[in-house]
Chain A
Amino acid sequence: EAGVTQSPTHLIKTRGQQATLRCSPISGHTSVYWYQQALGLGLQFLLWYDEGEERNRGNFPPRFSGRQFPNYSSELNVNALELEDSALYLCASSPTHREFTNTEAFFGQGTRLTVV
């Protein structure tokens, strides 16, 4: 069974451009989480999508946005890129239902975004 897959693995963008990162969850998983890991910093929660809706977002500006498609895959969009957006972006998925759950999360390999 395929795990969580992310694309692209590496992405180089210029300051001011937009970046689009993609995530496919494990089959049967309906929740997708996005995290940012900037150099030297711990993982920070970005966004949580469940069954097509944004359920929660972390302390990031509105230029970080995303969506979840009917097949539960997800996109993370970062507009007006800044140099400090350079980071590893990780996606995770978990099976879930409408209520809060404490099931295990499975992570992808990440997309390394470099803003120059």
Chain B
Amino acid sequence: KNEVEQSPQNLTAQEGEFITINCSYSVGISALHWLQQHPGGGIVSLFMLSSGKKKHGRLIATINIQEKHSSLHITASHPRDSAVYICAVRSNYGGSQGNLIFGKGTKLSVKP
């Protein structure tokens, strides 16, 4: 079982729809990252969370530490949001200090 699970794997939405991507993890963490990867491969960090909720423009990220779960929401989705969204956790146990553990990503396609 992967330490970081994302759902769904693939998501197709119509422009304007509200989108939710989920991430569950099984290890102790000090922070959770939401990343965006465009087809060229480069990765942009969207959010880093250790508790609560963060908002940036149309993007909202929440985390529930007790339930080991995070969600990324996109309001009023747009075709330019089409990308792979990756959840990554920074674990806090000794053997993995310093590295991120990644989910397999959610491929989002927003149709006009």
Indicate whether A and B interact: yes
- Chain A interface residues toward B at CB < 8 A: 31, 33, 35, 37, 41-45, 48, 50, 55-56, 58, 88, 90, 92, 100, 102-110, 112
**B101 and A45 within 8 A (CB):** yes
Q: Given the interface contacts A88-B41, A106-B45, does A56 sit within 8 Å of B97 by beta carbon?
A: yes
Chain A contacts of B42 at CB under 8 A?
107-110
Interface string of B70-110 (1 = CB under 8 A from A): 00000000000000001010101000111111111100000
Q: Does B43 contact A (CB under 8 A)?
A: yes
Q: Which of B10-18, B19-27, B29-37, B59-67 contacts A (4 or more CB under 8 A)?
A: B29-37
Interface bits B45-58 vs A (CB < 8 Å: 1, else 0): 10010100000000
Q: How many chain B residues touch the partner (CB < 8 A)?
A: 26
What residues of chain B lie closer than 8 Å to A41, measured between beta carbons? 104
- Tell me, yes or no, whether B112 is within 8 Å of chain A by CB: no
Residues in B neighbouring A88, C-beta threshold 8 A: 41
Contact B98 A33 (CB under 8 A): yes
Sort A-B residue pairs by CB-CB distance and give the 9 closest, nearest first.
A45-B99, A107-B43, A102-B31, A109-B42, A43-B102, A42-B104, A48-B98, A102-B30, A110-B41
